[in-house]
Amino acid sequence: MINQGQDNAGLSYKVAAFYSFLEINGEILNAFLQKLREHANRKNVKGMVLIACEGINGTICGSSSSISDVINLIKSDLCIEDLEIKYSFCDKQAFRRFRARQKTEIVTMGISYINTNELTGNYIEPSDWNKYLDDPDVLVIDARNEYEVSVGTFEGALNPHTDKFSEFPDWVEKTLRPIVDEKKPREIAMFCTGGIRCEKATCYLRQEGFEGVTQLHGGILKYLEEVPISKSKWNGECFVFDRRVALNHNLVPGMHRLCNACGMPLSPEDLMKESYIRGVKCHYCVDRFSDDDRARFADRQKHLDNLIGNDSVNTLSLTP
């Protein structure tokens, strides 16, 4: 289902963001990764896929038919019946190359063991999410990082102010637990970009004794896909980890750009600040790098401009 009013005419690239938590035999990983790389390259599909013994997580971009071919290969070779997938569209390739890597975790929390098959919180469908946002007895938590929240979020959501997901457990013990002890919410409702971080976050909370833990099924991307703008409670754009930087409510690239010096997302207002020099610095990193670094950034930007033109504003990406 595509959001009402969304026009995909002229958007020739399809993006698939997907994940699945399942047990994968470590002995097959190398062979599967090589087969996946070869297949993606033949189909001219680009993106990033992470695989571990706990499952698979990725975002890929290409033609609609090529995306289907790669997704079918993943589901068939890994015997995945339930692959959580969100689709969106763009007019340019969202990645520069295809990468597939083996990792310890498909989304890094840094906790040695979390049983995602048994402890995942209950799902809230996007059509019911607004009710939870309006309920004063529900504590809504944005499980993403600070720079993502700055691009857009749901009004009233609790921001953990983390720089990376591995900081989440420490925030839970130092900040969330006292809040829950004081407010005693009926439920804790969590959300993230596509749902994968909430799978682990809700498991961790339940593992640590929290009750009434729920999560937005499919994350922000699924909400934007299914909930009409007229009924939406989403504010801003949704940061994504590719060259599109952020998506608007129609799931097409929005107004944010990346600083090619530090990789932080910048709003149109940020681009107008005196501290901003394209490819060299922004207000996030104005005091972060040396003069030698700045000179190197400037040379790199000139090279990018000559190589690929103005599209170079979106050449860097962060990782969750």
Its CATH architecture, for the domain 122-236, is 3-Layer(aba) Sandwich (3.40)
Span 19-74, pLDDT tens digits: 999 989 888 999 999 999 999 999 999 999 999 999 999 999 999 999 999 999 99
Residue 258 has pLDDT above 80, yes or no: yes
Active-site residue, from 61, 90, 192, 203:
192
Q: Residue 309: what pLDDT?
A: 52
Distance CA 160, CA 179 (A): 12
Please, where in the chain does CATH 3.30.70.100 lie? 13-102
Distance CA 181, CA 283 (A): 37
Dig out the tokens for 219 from the structure.
């994350």
**Average pLDDT in the chain:** 91
| Predicted TM-score (pTM) above 0.85 | yes
Its CATH architecture, for the domain 13-102, is 2-Layer Sandwich (3.30)
The mean pLDDT value for 78-83 works out to 92
Write the burial class of residue 177 (CB in 10 Å: 0-12 exposed, 13-18 middle, 19+ buried).
Answer: middle
Please, where in the chain does CATH 3.40.250.10 lie? 122-236
Distance CA 53, CA 73 (A): 18
Q: Residue 11: what pLDDT?
A: 81
Indicate if 192 belongs to the active site: yes
Cβ atoms of 234 and 249 closer than 8 Å: yes
- The pLDDT confidence band at residue 307, using thresholds 50, 70 and 90, is confident
The mean pLDDT value for 76-87 works out to 94
The mean pLDDT value for 251-263 works out to 94
Residue 142 has pLDDT above 90, yes or no: yes
Q: What is the DSSP string of 247-265?
A: E-TTSSB-S-EE-TTT--E
